[in-house]
Structure 1
Amino acid sequence: MKKLTSLLILLIAFSAQGQIWIDNGATWHYDWSGTIPGFDKIEYIGDTIIQNKSCQKLMISSYMFAPAELGGELVDSWTSQKFTYSNGDTVFYLVNDNFQILYNFGAQVGDTWEPGVDTNEFSCGKSYVEVVSTGSDEINGEIYEWLQVTTLPNSSVGFEGKIYKRFGVIGDYLFPTPRNCDPDIIVEFFNYSFMCFQDDSFPLYNVTNKDCDYLLSTDEFEIKYPEKIVSIYPNPASDILSIGVLKPDCKITNVVVTDMQGRVLKNVNELQIDISDMAKGIYFIRIDFNNDGRFVERFIKN
């Protein structure tokens, strides 16, 4: 009986270490920052067959919030999908209708792989990820192997940080992110930070002291979906940005226009705002009402 028990323990441990990719219920949270805060929630929502391969369908829900200076309300959200599958010690993902290597857990120090992006609009070329070290850590009482990787110069996309068997990247994003190789172009990309992961056979792993959905659940960033009471038009706009009030009992008390960094550019109480003197780009408009309500929306200046 003791031998049988020991064998079962060894089999369970081997199974935990041998599984390279996710289980049902997999959910990640990645915080992102830049000029505006937000986060991505990535969920394994089902399986599908693509090119005769059984793939995991991952739904990415992205949430963008106004700068704290504007109250931090949700101003935009969108969804996208990714598809992955594993074979042996490699995880693949779908890029432009072709499966490319996402993670190669069989790689050794000095090995490289291609994430499958050959060029982008920022003068970059073929992408390469290089393994710089390997190791293992104990997480949730189990040992999980990792690869420490870096992105080679002139790559269009890449990773930085540790990639763990079972759940992917810590220190960057789950999927390769864009790079800029043109010194004449100033591009600000989101800075991603891993927060949480769990699935049906992997208890919650949270590397922060925050709730995984903290931007959605704290008072500062509370999401509300009120009846829309104003419209902003045209959007994009070139000279005049107009505000249409859809409920006559709502009175506008103040209008604030800021840039993406939260700097106040205009503070008025008008339904038509002259933006002809503003540079082309993306801005926020915040409208305050007499009932203490508030509306925040992005607009584009052409």
Structure 2
Amino acid sequence: MTEPAIAANGLRKSYGDKTVLDGIDLAVPEGTIFSVLGPNGAGKTTAVKILSTLISADRDGGQVRVGGHDLAAEAQAIRAAIGVTGQFSAVDGLITGEENMLLMADLHHLGKHEGRAVAAELLERFDLTEAAQKPASTYSGGMKRRLDIAMTLVGSPRIIFLDEPTTGLDPRSRHTMWQIIRELVTGGVTVFLTTQYLEEADQLADRIAVLNNGLIAAEGTAEELKRLIPGGHVRLRFTDPGAYQTAATALREASRDDEALSLQIPSDGSQRELRSLLDWLDATGVEADELSVHTPDLDDVFFALTDTTNAAGIPDQSKETAR
């Protein structure tokens, strides 16, 4: 098995008596998108800053490896392997887009010819060629974000940290950014993404960790996390009152809506349960006019996992993680 692109064991960070990260574990496979969700103050940005060498963990803050390098002993090697796009743009608005790119090329010690070639290729890739000679202060929010990521790619990083990269963008610009992120991963780049947009994590991430109060409350694929939340069901709607009554009598566990002639049957939405229900309908000769599957979404997961009362009654996985 190959070593994860990012691996953390017992990562801790405190400021005085305030614990921001309370011993979290992470494992991010190469060439994947790993997303961290959490409310404000959950520790998302702190995790990014530690993993990208911008700040240090606590002295007893666990073990971390990024790009195969030990965080405590090989920080410089990690910096050479990663790129970081923070919540706030690193673009200098007083100079042109091209000059921003060439500045990054100089920082990466690229030769003049190579630097110009890399800058031109990235500006074209991010659809910024026409605006390259204009001051970056004239760019729209989406253009600045694209330039920001283009600047991050000048050093050809294998791992990129994106800290809430689409905050403040309009829906069209956000979808453009999603496509850029997907293309990066197709090219073999590993992306560590923090976001407050649940749809963004659902659309992009191979795996998602929900961070709350400095602990990982749950981790898994979007579908695995959705299955943690109760409330999934199959809805059958009928136009024939006789068929409705037959189904309602037989399916005792179903919730009835006699006015709408519909039944709501608890289900995890799995193919197995759906096939079982369809087989029963066929065997009994009952024909529903409409069948729809309803499963919890990431909004439900987020609110349940970050609700201190845990009203949904799901297991508190953060305590398991802490142990």
Report the TM-score range of the alignment, normalised by the length of the smaller protein. under 0.3
By relative contact order (CA 8 Å, sep 6+), the higher-ranking structure is: 2
TM-score under structure 2 normalisation? 0.23
Relative to total residues, which structure has the larger strand share, 1 or 2? Answer: 1
More helix by share: 2
Give the TM-score normalised by structure 1. Answer: 0.24
Larger Rg: 2
